[in-house]
Structure 1
Amino acid sequence: MQSLDSLTREAQDLAGKSNRESAEHTITWHDKKLTHNESEVARQMQICNACRYCEGFCAVFPAMARRLDFKNKADLNYLANLCHNCGACLHACQYAPPHEFAVNIPQAMARVRLETYTDFAWPVSFGKLYKNNGVTVALATAFGLTLFLILTILANGSLVSPPGNGGNFYSIFPHNTLALMFGIVFGYAVLALGIGVARFWKEITPGQASAVAAGEALHNVLQLKYLDGGHGEGCNDEDDKFTLRRRNYHHLTFYGFLLCFAATSTATIFHYVLGWEAPYSYTSLPVILGTLGGVGLLIGPIGLMRLNIRRAPAHGDKAQKPMDHAFISLLILTSASGLGLLIWRDSSALAVLLALHLGIVMALFLTMPYGKFAHGIFRSAALLKWSIEKRLPNKLGLGSE
C-alpha cells in the first residue's frame, strides 16, 4: 500500500488540477468526466483511504477501503449516497479545515448527492427543479391551495360548510374524484422516483442481491443505523458533542409518514372492500393511525427544522438549505393541517380546512420526485449495494468489515 505522504501528495496534485479546471467544472479520468464536486470527493477519499482513522464510523469507509483509486464516477455517486451526513468523521478528522488538506467528507458528499439526484431525475429536464426547489415548492403549494379552494367554492357554493355536515369530507369532494386526482399525482411521483433510482441502481452495478443482503439493508434503513456516529452515541450537530436527536427526529418523521400512509390505505380498504364510508369515529383504526402519524410527522419535522437551522455550516452544503427547509415545511404543514381538520371537522370551517389540507398534500406529492424526499430512496439503494458488496470477496484484502 502507498504511504500516507505519497497518497496525500497525489491528492494535493489532483486538487490543484481540479482547481485549474474548475472554470469548466469537469475533469477527465479514464475517459470519464467527473464534475468539480466529484473530483473533490475523489481527492478527499484518497486521503481518507490512506489514514483509515474513521473506518469504523459508517459504511462509507469500509466501502472506500475496497477501492484503490476514486476515478470512477459511479463509485463516487455510490459513496456519496451511502453517506448519512452525521458529521462524526468531520469532528474526528485530523486533516479537517483549517488543515491544508481541508478534508470535509459530509460537505463534499452532500454536494455530489445533489448532482446525483439531478443527473438521474426523470424526466431528465426536470432535474433542474432540485436547484430551485424552494421556488418549486412555493409554486406547487400555491397551485394546490388555489385548485382546492376554487373546487370547494364550485362544489359547495361557499367556503363555509353547510350545517349538519357531521364531518363528512365527501359531501364536499366526492370520494372517487379525490381518489382519481391524488392517485394520478401520487402514481406519477412513484413512477418518476422509481425510474430515477432504477437508473442509479444500474449505473452503480450493484451485483446480485440475496435475501440476507436485502434483509440487512432493510434493517439498516428502518433502524437508521448510520445516524449513530458508528459507536451508538449519535451524530455531531453543532459541535463535538454527540447526540441522537437527529436520529430520533428522523424516526418520528419516517414512521409518522408510514402511519399516515397506513391510515389512508386502511380507509381505502374500509371504503372499497368493506363498504364502510367516512366519516369514521375517533376510535376507528384509520383515525387512530392518522392521529399517531400526524403527531409524529409534526414533532419530527419541527425537530429536524430546528437542528437544520442551528447546525454548523461545515456539516453540509448551504446551497441546499432552501430545499431542506421547503421539504420540512411541507411535512409540518401537512401534519398540522391534517390534525386541525380532524379536530374541527364538525365545525363550519370544515370546507376551508379540507381545501387547505388537500392543497398542501397535493404540493407534497407534486414535489416528491424533485426534492429532499429523494434522499431516502437513493440512500436505501446505496445501503443495499453495500450489503451486497460486503459479501463479495475482497480482492484487495483491505479494510475491516
Structure 2
Amino acid sequence: MQSLEALAHEASALARGELVPVHAPTAAESEVARQLQICNACRYCEGFCAVFPAMTRRLEFPVADVHFLANLCHNCGACLHACQYAPPHEFAVNIPQAMARVRGQTYHDYAWPPALGRLYKRNGLALSLALAGALALFLVLAVLLKGGVRGLWGSVPAGGSFYDLFPHNLMVALFAPVFLFAVLALALGVRRFWREITPVTSGAPLSAPAAAEATHNVLRLTYLDGGHGDGCHEADDAYTQARRRFHHLTFYGFMLCFAATSVATLYHYLLGQAAPYDLPSLPKLLGAVGGLMLMAGTAGLGWLNLRRHPLHGDAAQKPMDLGFIALLFAVSASGLGLWAARGTPAMALLLCLHLGAVMALFATLPYGKFAHGIFRTAALLRHAVEKRRPSPVGLGAD
C-alpha cells in the first residue's frame, strides 16, 4: 500500500505534467506481487538484503513497486535456499527467478529507443558478436583500401603508432557519436525509471547520507553477500564469494580501462603528448591493470553464468548476459593483445578487432547488463532515501 505522502507526490507530479508510467501488470509482475504477499506473511528472510525490509513497508505491490524491488534484488539466491515455500512446494516461491524476469522486462521497458531494447533482449549474444564482427570488418576493409594486404598484415607503422593507420581525428569522429548515443540512451532510460519509482519510495529528495550509504553498497556489492556474509549460491546449496569477486574484478577493471582512456585524452589535448604511451606512463599502467582485471572478471562471470542452477535466474536472459560478458572479454583480450603486438605485422589487424569490439560495446551499453547496473544504483539510492522516512503506520521492519 502506498503511503499518503507517496500518493500526494504522485498527484503533484501528474499536476506538473510529469510522466508517471502506469500499465496493467504483466504476468511476470503479477507473479512477483503474488510471491511477495507470501513473503510478507512469513518474513523469515527479512535480514537477507535490501529487498525484504523494503517489502515490509508495503501491503500491496503495484507495478512501480515491483519494478523498484526487482531492481533492488541482486539475485544472490540466498532466499530461495532458505525458503520453506520454494519449489516443489505448491506456493512455488522463487524470488530470485521472479525478480530476474521482471528486471529483464524493465531493461527494454525503459530502453530508448524501445525497439533496440527488445532486439537486444532476444538476441544479445548473437547481436553483440555480429555487431563487433561487422564493425571490425568495416575497419579492415578501410585499411585494405588504403594500403592493401600489406597495410593490414606486414607493414609496421613507425614507432608502432595507431594514428598512422587511423588518424586521431578520424577515431574521434567514429567513437564520439557512439559514446554520446550510449550516454543519452542510458540517461533517458534511468530518468524514466527514477520518475516511476520516486513516488512509491516516499517521494523525498535524495540526501547526502542516503547517497553515501547507497554509494557504499554499490561499490562494495554489499548485497551479494548471501545475507550472512558468506556469498552467493551458485550450482547448489554451497555458499561462494566467487560471484562477488568476479563482479568486482569486472567493475573495477572496466573503470580502470575507462580511466586510462580519460587520462590519455588529457595527455593528448592538455600536454600535447600523442599516443602510443609506454610503461611506466599512467595511461599504460591503468590500462594494463584494468585490462587484466576485466579479462579475469568476465571469464569468471561467463563460467558462473553457464553453470548456475536454472532456478536461480531467468534462462531467457542468458543471451543478453553472455552478450555483454563476451563483448567486455573481447575488449580486454584484444586490447592486451594489441599492446603485445605493437610494432609487429599483426598490429593493424588486432587494432581493427579491438576498435570493432569497443564500438559494439558502447553501442549496446544501454540495453543489457550495464543498464542493469545503472538501474540497480537508482533503486539503491531510492531505498536509502525511503528507509530514512517513517514507515506507514503498522508497517515496516524498522
After TM superposition, the score normalised by the length of structure 2 is 0.91
1:209-243 CA distance string (max 9 Å, x none): 00111111111111101000122111111111111
- Between 363-372 and 184-193, report the one with greater CA deviation: 363-372
Structure 2 residue 245 is matched with structure 1 residue 224: no
Distance in 2 (alpha carbons) for counterparts of 1:51 and 1:155:
69
Distance in 2 (alpha carbons) for counterparts of 1:282 and 1:352:
23
- Between 45-54 and 154-163, report the one with greater CA deviation: 154-163
Structure 2 residue 355 is matched with structure 1 residue 358: yes
- Verify the 8 A CA contact 1:60 1:79 in the aligned structure 2: yes
Give the aligned partner of residue 334 of structure 2.
Answer: 337
RMSD across aligned positions (CA): 1.3
1:251-296 CA distance string (max 9 Å, x none): 0000000000000000000000100111111211100000000000
1:65-123 CA distance string (max 9 Å, x none): 000111x1000001000000000000000000000000000000000011111111111
- Between 391-400 and 247-256, report the one with greater CA deviation: 391-400
Give the aligned partner of residue 58 of structure 1.
Answer: 49
Alignment CA distance shift 1:169-1:253 (3 Å) = same
Give the aligned partner of residue 194 of structure 1.
Answer: 187
Q: 2:304 aligns with which of 279, 296, 307?
A: 307
Give the aligned partner of residue 74 of structure 2.
Answer: 84
| Cα displacement (A) at 1:374 | 1.2
Structure 2 residue 112 is matched with structure 1 residue 122: yes
Superposed, which structure 2 residues align to 1:179-328 within 5 Å? 179-205=172-198, 206=201, 207=203, 208-328=205-325
Amino acid at match of 1:91: H
Distance in 2 (alpha carbons) for counterparts of 1:177 and 1:42:
51
Give the aligned partner of residue 156 of structure 1.
Answer: 147
Alignment CA distance shift 1:163-1:306 (3 Å) = closer
Amino acid at match of 1:41: V
Amino acid at match of 1:123: P
| Cα displacement (A) at 1:162 | 2.6
Structure 2 residue 383 is matched with structure 1 residue 390: no
Aligned-partner SS, 1:166: helix
Amino acid at match of 2:194: W
- Verify the 8 A CA contact 2:57 2:397 in the aligned structure 1: no
Distance in 2 (alpha carbons) for counterparts of 1:104 and 1:163:
57
Alignment CA distance shift 1:163-1:103 (3 Å) = closer
1:149-175 CA distance string (max 9 Å, x none): 112223433202534522211111011
Q: 1:67 aligns with which of 41, 58, 62?
A: 58
Q: 2:102 aligns with which of 112, 129, 148?
A: 112
Give the aligned partner of residue 32 of structure 2.
Answer: 41
| Cα displacement (A) at 1:344 | 1.1
Structure 2 residue 126 is matched with structure 1 residue 135: yes
1:314-354 CA distance string (max 9 Å, x none): 00011111111111111111110000000111111111110
Aligned-partner SS, 1:33: coil
Structure 2 residue 93 is matched with structure 1 residue 103: yes
- Verify the 8 A CA contact 1:57 1:231 in the aligned structure 2: yes
Distance in 2 (alpha carbons) for counterparts of 1:155 and 1:250:
41
Aligned-partner SS, 1:347: coil
- Verify the 8 A CA contact 2:127 2:323 in the aligned structure 1: no
Structure 1 stretches of at least 4 aligned residues deviating more than 6 Å after TM superposition: none
Aligned-partner SS, 2:159: coil
Q: 2:137 aligns with which of 146, 170, 179?
A: 146
Distance in 1 (alpha carbons) for counterparts of 2:146 and 2:282:
29
Amino acid at match of 1:81: N
Aligned-partner SS, 1:34: coil
Give the number of equivalent residue pairs.
370
Alignment CA distance shift 1:192-1:164 (3 Å) = closer
After TM superposition, the score normalised by the length of structure 1 is 0.90
Amino acid at match of 1:51: C
Give the aligned partner of residue 178 of structure 1.
Answer: 171
Amino acid at match of 1:181: L
Give the aligned partner of residue 165 of structure 1.
Answer: 158
- Verify the 8 A CA contact 2:122 2:319 in the aligned structure 1: no
Amino acid at match of 1:110: A
Aligned-partner SS, 2:36: helix
- Verify the 8 A CA contact 1:95 1:102 in the aligned structure 2: yes
Aligned-partner SS, 2:362: helix
Amino acid at match of 2:81: H
**Which stretches in structure 1 are left out of the alignment for 5+ residues?**
1-30
- Between 361-370 and 257-266, report the one with greater CA deviation: 361-370
| Cα displacement (A) at 1:63 | 0.3
**Which stretches in structure 2 are left out of the alignment for 5+ residues?**
1-21
Larger relative contact order (Cα-Cα within 8 Å, sequence gap ≥ 6): 2
Amino acid at match of 1:127: G
- Verify the 8 A CA contact 1:302 1:332 in the aligned structure 2: yes
